[in-house]
């Protein structure tokens, strides 16, 4: 099959080489986005949790190396995450260190959302449906993380933006807001953590709408064409 030399380097990579990195990203995201309760076990478990972000960093660096259009955003975001996570690992009760960690996480996740969404809008020529599904699910998980970080930073800068009646002394942690973000993204609306201020309500309303549109427009479309695309009948 002839190669399109005008396509980005990442698009010219065989699917067999891209797919293991996508699995690495997906597995790492599942561990990170739903394994955060281990951070309540003390500094040691928090450091273990932060080390898991290395999977996201490795994927980002690999992606930056093969996609020069997004080299600097991914590289800078990866460095910001490493710096913020290192600071937070040693000063977990410092609000500035927490904000630095959340900022690094948010920047990298946002950069990856943009990168993966671009791959969905213009799929690589040799990508199969399974590759696009991996991209879509990873982007969805990253989207919840981005809004979780935004919620955490909003609560740090304006305490009382969100309320959790079950939290001790009404204190909200970034872990609680990450949970609240995914509940909102999936439009479950448990109501245990609620936005109080106008901007907090606006943020979570936008997240609920965006999450619904993402599932309806992106994932549902990909599932609908799974197995029928011409790319699935050819060698990777």
Angle at 16 between CA 12 and CA 20, to 5 degrees: 110
Tally Cβ neighbours within 10 Å of residue 217: 11
pLDDT at 128: 81
pLDDT at 68: 75
Q: Rounded to an integer, what distance in angstroms lies between the CA atom of residue 74 and that of residue 59?
A: 10
pLDDT at 9: 47
* All structural domains of the chain with their residue ranges: 9-233
Q: Rounded to an integer, what distance in angstroms lies between the CA atom of residue 26 and that of residue 30?
A: 6
Residues with Cβ within 8 Å of 106's Cβ and at least 6 positions away in sequence, in order, are 145, 146, 149, 150, 153
Q: Rounded to an integer, what distance in angstroms lies between the CA atom of residue 84 and that of residue 98?
A: 8
Whole-structure pTM value: 0.87
How does the average pLDDT of the chain come out, rounded?
85
Q: What is the pLDDT of residues 144-154, one digit of tens each?
A: 999 999 999 99
Judge whether 131 and 18 are in contact, CB under 8 Å.
Answer: yes
- Can you list the pairs that 87-94 forms with residues at least 24 positions away whose Cβ atoms lie under 8 Å? 88/46, 88/50, 89/43, 89/46, 89/47, 89/50, 92/43, 92/46
Tokens of 149: 């970080």
Judge whether 185 and 203 are in contact, CB under 8 Å.
Answer: no
Q: Rounded to an integer, what distance in angstroms lies between the CA atom of residue 93 and that of residue 156?
A: 12
Burial bucket for residue 162 (CB in 10 Å: 0-12, 13-18, 19+)? buried
Residues of the chain with pLDDT under 70: 1-17, 168-170, 220-221, 223-236
pLDDT at 129: 80
**How many angstroms separate the Cα of 32 from the Cα of each of 11, 103, 129, 174, 195?**
27, 16, 25, 13, 24
Task: With CA atoms as reference, report the closest residue to 109 among 155, 198, 178, 157.
Answer: 178
Residues with Cβ within 8 Å of 103's Cβ and at least 6 positions away in sequence, in order, are 80, 84, 149, 153
Tokens of 178: 């990450």
Tokens of 103: 């900022």
């Amino acid at each position: 099959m002839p190669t399109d030399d005008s396509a980005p380097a990442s698009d010219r990579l065989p699917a067999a080489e891209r797919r293991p990195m996508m699995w690495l990203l997906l597995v790492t995201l599942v561990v990170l986005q739903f394994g955060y309760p281990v951070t309540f076990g003390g500094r040691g478990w928090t450091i273990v949790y932060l080390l898991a972000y290395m999977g996201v960093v490795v994927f980002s660096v690999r992606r930056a190396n093969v996609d020069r259009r997004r080299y600097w955003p991914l590289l800078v975001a990866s460095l910001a995450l490493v710096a913020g996570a290192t600071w937070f690992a040693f000063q977990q009760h410092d609000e500035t260190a927490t904000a630095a960690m959340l900022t690094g996480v948010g920047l990298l996740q946002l950069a990856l959302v943009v990168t993966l969404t671009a791959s969905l809008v213009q799929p690589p020529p040799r990508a199969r449906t399974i590759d696009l599904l991996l991209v879509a699910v990873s982007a969805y998980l990253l989207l919840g993380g981005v809004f979780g970080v935004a919620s955490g930073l909003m609560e740090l800068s304006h305490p009382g933006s969100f309320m959790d009646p079950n939290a001790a002394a009404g204190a909200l942690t970034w872990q609680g807001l990450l949970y609240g973000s995914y509940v909102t993204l999936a439009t479950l609306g448990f109501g245990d953590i609620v936005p109080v201020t106008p901007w907090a309500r606006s943020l979570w309303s936008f997240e609920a709408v965006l999450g619904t549109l993402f599932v309806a427009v992106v994932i549902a479309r990909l599932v609908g064409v799974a197995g029928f695309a011409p790319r699935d009948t050819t060698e990777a």
